Structure 1
C-alpha cells in the first residue's frame, strides 16, 4: 500500500525541478529557433556538409528532403476509404503459474467509411508452450520475457499485412484508398543489440509483411504520440559548428563537457515544430539515419514528418516507397488525420485495436482456469500454482 502521507513531502522538490527544466527548455527553444532561421538560408550548404562529413560526426541527424520551414496543409480525406490497424498484448510466462507458457493476443481492426460495410473488430490469441518456444532465445542470452515482446511485434505486423492484403486482393476488388496503421515506430531499435541469428529470426518476417503491403499498394504508417525524438533538431548542429568543417572526430573527440554545437540540446523535435505548424499541417519530410536502418532494404528506409493533429505534434513514420510517391503520401496523411479527429486526439483504429488486444486480469484468470481444467482432464498430477503465488492472491494481512 502506498503511504500518501510520506510521499507528500517529496512532491515540492519534484515541482521545483520541473519548473527549472521548463525554463531551461524555453531557453533552448529560443536558440533552436535562431539556428533554424540560419539553417533555412544555408540549407543546401548544410546538406552538403552532412553528406561529406557525417561519417566523422559524433551524432546522427536526420536528412531533410524538403525545405526546413515547410508547413504543408494536409488534404481532406476522401469520403470512401478503409483503415486497418493491429496491436498486441500478452500473458507473460511465470514459473509460479500452473504451467510455464505464454500467450500473445493480437487485436485487429478494419474500419470502412462511405461504403456501407460492417467493421471488423476481433483478436487472434496464440499460446506458446513447446520447448522451442520457451527456451530458443536462451541460446542467444535473451530472456524469454524479452523474446516474447519481440515476437509480439512481428505478429502484429504480420496480422496487419495479412488483413490488408486479403481485403484489397484480387486487384480491383476494393479501389477505395486504404491505410495500414501501427502504434509506435517502424524503426526497430531493439534489433541493434541482438545477435545476428536472433535478428534473422525476426527482421525477414517483418520485411515479408511489408512486401505484402507494398504489393497491395496499402500505405503503412507508424504513429508516435508524445514522442521524444531529437534527430531533426540535431541537423541544426551543422549550423552551430564553430569550425570550417564539421569534423567532430578531429576537433571535438576529446571534449569532456557539452560540445560547441549542442547549444539547443536536449530539445525535442516536437517542441520546435510546435512553434511552426498550425493544426492540420505537416513538416518537411526527413530520412532517418538510425544505424539499424542499414539492415533495411532501400525501399523500406524509414522517412518521417511531424503533423500538427490539433492536440499535439505527432511523429508519423513511413517507408521510402511511400515518401517517393508524394500524392500517395499526402492522401495517406489525410486519412491518418481523419482518424485522429474521429478518435478525439488519437487515431481511432489504433485505439480500438488496443482495446481488442488488451488482456485483463479477468481474462488471465479465465485462461489459466481453462488450462487447469484441461490438465486435470489429461490426468496430470499436482496441478496448481506455487505457494508464493497463492499467498499473493489471498493476503493474510
Structure 2
C-alpha cells in the first residue's frame, strides 16, 4: 500500500509553518549567543572554575571547555603545504538478519591514500570481513549481537586500517581522516558497560599507534547538530545553584546548536577557536593522553551560504607545531574539490558502501555454498511472503 499523501498535506503545511517560526526564533537566539561568546572571552577563568565544580560534583553535563585560545577567536585560512599525504577510511556494514539465509554480518572498509601536490593517482583499497561464528554473533547470555556493537566494530576497523596504512614512513605531513567523531558513545546502559570498555580500550590503542606514526589524526563531522559550545555559553554570567542538581539542563538557548552559532561568525575558510569536549568519555580519553579537542570550520566558498563542519583532534595533534594550520588548510582545500565535503572521505565512502546488488551477489554465493553442504538455503516464511507481495503487485482489500 502506498502512502495516502492527501492525508499528509495539511500536516506537511503545518510542519513548514512551524519550521519557519522556529528558524526565526533560533536566528534571534543565535544573535544573543554570539554576543555571549564575546562575553565568554573575558570570563574564561570563571568558566573553568564552574566546570571544575561540575566535574567535582559528578553532575551530568555535556558541553565544551575553553582551550588556550580565546573562545571568540577566529583563525583565517592559512597557506596549504605544497605537498602532503591524506589518508581516509570509511566503513559500511550488513547487519545480521534473523529471517535471512543464515546469520552473519559483514563490515567493509574503504580507504584511500591521496598525495596532495604530487600529481600521482591515489591508492584505493577495499577490505571486507565476514563474521559468522557463534562467538562473533552471540553474547555470553545467548543474545544476538546488537547493531550498535557492529557499528563500534566498524569504527574500530576504520581506525585500525588508518594505523596500518600510516606505519610506513611518509616524507610529507600526513593527515588521517574518519567520517564522524573521534569520541565513542557506545555505553548506553549497564548491559553495555563491559563491551564498551573493551571497544574503548581497542580504540585508544589505535590512537596511540597513530600518535606513534607521527600523523595528524582528525574526525570530520558534516552538518554538526551538537550544542557543545552553546551549552558553555549557558554558564556565562550564571551562578551555579547550590547544591548542584544531578543534571544541568538548558537555560536560555534551548534548541540552538553550534552550527547555527558559527554560521554567523565564520567567513569561508575561517575556523573557530579550539574547544575541549567536556564529557565523561573524554575524561577517559584524556587519561590515556588522547583528550579530544574540536573546532568549527566554514568550508563554503560563498559568504552567504556558510557550510559548517566540526573537526575533532586528539590533544597531541594540538601540541604538534604547525599541525593545526596544516589540517585547517588541507581540509578546506579538500572541501573545494567537490564543494563542501572532503574528497578523500567521499571517495572512501564510495569504496566502502555495500550496494543492494553487492548483497544480492553475496547471498547468491552463500546459497550455493549452503546447498553444496546440503544445508537449508531459504529465507523465513515471513521474508519469503514479503518478497512475494512486493514483487507480484497483488493487493487484497483496500
**What is the TM-score normalised by the length of structure 1?**
0.89
Paired position in structure 2 for 1:353: 348
Quote the offset at 1:52 in angstroms.
4.5
Paired position in structure 1 for 2:179: 183
State the alpha-carbon separation in 1 of the partners of residues 141 and 345 from structure 2: 33
Task: Flag the 1:2–1:229 CA change in 2: closer, same or farther, 3 A.
Answer: same
Q: Indicate yes or no: 2:152 matched with 1:150.
A: yes
Paired position in structure 2 for 1:36: 37
Query: How do residues 290-369 of structure 1 correspond to structure 2 at under 5 angstroms?
Result: 290-296=279-285, 297-310=287-300, 311-369=306-364
Quote the offset at 1:271 in angstroms.
1.4
Contact 2:61 2:279 in 1 (8 A): no
Quote the offset at 1:112 in angstroms.
1.5
Paired position in structure 1 for 2:65: 63
Paired position in structure 2 for 1:96: 99
Residue ranges of structure 2 left out of the alignment (5+ in a row): 301-305
Deviations 1:142-193 (A, max 9, x none): 7433322221111111112111223x2xxxxx21111100011111122353
Paired position in structure 2 for 1:238: 235
Task: Flag the 1:77–1:135 CA change in 2: closer, same or farther, 3 A.
Answer: same
Mean CA deviation greater in 57-66 or 93-102: 57-66
Task: Flag the 1:201–1:142 CA change in 2: closer, same or farther, 3 A.
Answer: farther
Deviations 1:90-149 (A, max 9, x none): 11111221111111111111111222433122211111110100103656x674333222
Query: How do residues 262-277 of structure 1 correspond to structure 2 at under 5 angstroms?
Result: 262-277=251-266
Q: Structure 1 stretches (4+) deviating beyond 6 angstroms?
A: none
Quote the offset at 1:68 in angstroms.
1.7
Task: Flag the 1:91–1:320 CA change in 2: closer, same or farther, 3 A.
Answer: same
Paired position in structure 2 for 1:16: 17
Quote the offset at 1:212 in angstroms.
1.6
Contact 1:50 1:238 in 2 (8 A): no
Task: Flag the 1:253–1:131 CA change in 2: closer, same or farther, 3 A.
Answer: closer
SS in 2 for 1:359: coil
Task: Flag the 1:36–1:142 CA change in 2: closer, same or farther, 3 A.
Answer: farther
Q: CA RMSD in A?
A: 2.3
Q: Indicate yes or no: 2:90 matched with 1:87.
A: yes
Paired position in structure 1 for 2:118: 115
Task: Flag the 1:116–1:24 CA change in 2: closer, same or farther, 3 A.
Answer: closer
Contact 1:62 1:231 in 2 (8 A): yes
Contact 2:44 2:66 in 1 (8 A): no
State the alpha-carbon separation in 2 of the partners of residues 254 and 54 from structure 1: 11
Paired position in structure 2 for 1:161: 163
SS in 2 for 1:300: coil
Residue ranges of structure 1 left out of the alignment (5+ in a row): 169-173
State the alpha-carbon separation in 2 of the partners of residues 335 and 137 from structure 1: 46
Contact 1:137 1:144 in 2 (8 A): no
Quote the offset at 1:348 in angstroms.
0.8
Paired position in structure 2 for 1:394: 388
**What is the TM-score normalised by the length of structure 2?**
0.89
State the alpha-carbon separation in 1 of the partners of residues 280 and 127 from structure 2: 33
Where is the helix percentage greater, Structure 1 or Structure 2?
Answer: 1
Contact 2:275 2:294 in 1 (8 A): yes
Number of residue pairs matched? Answer: 381
Paired position in structure 1 for 2:303: none
